[in-house]
Amino acid sequence: MAKLLLLGGAGFIGSTTCERLLKENNEVTVLDNFNEYYDPALKRKNVDSCIKVAQSSGKYTLIEGDIRDSELISKLLSENNFDGIICFAANAGVRPSIENPRYYFDVNVNGLLNVLEGMRNSTCKKLVFISSSSVYGNNKSVPFKESDNVDHPISPYACSKKAGELMCYTYHDLFNLDIHCLRYFTVYGPRQRPDLAINKFTRLLLNDEEIPMFGDGSTARDYTYVDDIVEGTCLSLNYLLNNEGVYDIFNLGGSHPIKLKEMIEVIASELGKEAKIKQLPMQLGDVEITYSDYSHAREVLNYEPKVSFKEGIHNFVKWYKENME
């Protein structure tokens, strides 16, 4: 059993990971600010689910707060002997980051700095930092490898995540923090944020509304089912808890890009609907393809995704109909 801190642990991936850790009888403290990027009531529902799990296994504590509050973070880390931290807390979304880059850097860079400073001055030296495949930009070499150059991010969000990886390395080198940076590739599944394409398109199809398709439908994403992402994240955490002198970066993806047009077709087929497509120009900050080479994660962490895209969409649609309609 470990004593763990999940920053941003009420959201889509954070709460799903939290439930997994609770079921393994860990003691989990969640810090979340319940911001209004999407309806906070959805996060409250996620928390309720975690509390129910904790009634039979694990121990759950919720703290409402912001990682930009340096005093709160410092106090939290100094007063609790956490064994490890997973930092999900971040402002997500490529397109909104173009509209408000200052806010994104304040949360994603300054907030992470507070966490690293708090760890530097506490007993907790293990951190899983959630990065993003966005750092690869329009990488011409596919599939994307962790050794690829990521000096050309094309959105403030991507830039803030690369900055986070660099900060993590600096604190690892200077203060002996053990850190993994996990580059997630387009996560989907139950509890997915309503602003993300699969959730949004499901809603529009069910309402017989038009689907906005940016570009000609040939852009592709390496969709990765949430349970596979949670498995990889827990494998990373367990590795850190049992090893010293660690800094590493891992792709967590499925290595099977799905084109936008195909993604719409799969959701429509699952719903028994016919998609009405409204073709629109490509958006600023959007990349042509994401495609993970996860061989490094397989070799070091024993990570191996299991859920196919069609199976994952089936699971998501079932959840959506039971919870969102």
Distance CA 324, CA 283 (A): 28
Distance CA 253, CA 256 (A): 8
Q: Which two tokens stand for residue 294?
A: 């996860």
Distance CA 85, CA 101 (A): 26
Distance of alpha carbon 137 from the chain centroid: 17
Count of C-beta atoms within a 10 Å radius of residue 51: 12
> Is omega for the bond preceding 143 within 30 degrees of 0, making it cis?
yes
| Kind of pairing between the strands at 220-221 and 258-259 | antiparallel
Count of C-beta atoms within a 10 Å radius of residue 259: 15
How far, in Å, are 147, 150, 174, 274 from residue 263 at the CA level?
29, 27, 44, 13
* Beta-carbon contacts of residue 248 (< 8 Å; ≥ 6 apart): 179, 180, 181, 300
- Among the options 104, 157, 171, 303, which is catalytic? 157
Q: Which two tokens stand for residue 190?
A: 């139950």
Cα atoms found within 13 Å of the Cα of residue 59, Cβ hemisphere only: 7
Check if 157 is active-site: yes
Catalytic residues: 157
